[in-house]
Amino acid sequence: MSYQWIRASEIDDYVYCRRAWWLRRVRSVASTHVAEMQAGTAYHERHGRLVERSVWTRRLAYLVLFCAVAVLVFQLLSG
């Protein structure tokens, strides 16, 4: 007996619209909103890159702040 895996995204699709899930999974009917889905995928990829860049910017800011405090403490203790 061969089982087909059901992915988490399919469960989400099923909860959102059982009919759409059934059409896609059982009847193999392709979506008519391909352009919108591609635009959404591109948007999420851009947003993910922006979030990743902001995380690295925050880490760099913490590093610069740490270095500034270290220099200040060194100046106060050596003077």
Identity of residue 78: S
pTM tops 0.85: no
Given this model, what pLDDT does residue 77 score?
95
Parse the chain into domains and list their residue ranges: 44-79
Q: pLDDT tens for residues 23-32? A: 988 888 888 8
Counting beta carbons within 10 angstroms of the beta carbon of residue 24, is it exposed (0 to 12), middle (13 to 18) or buried (19 or more)? middle
Q: pLDDT tens for residues 12-59? A: 889 999 998 899 888 888 888 889 989 999 999 999 999 999 999 999
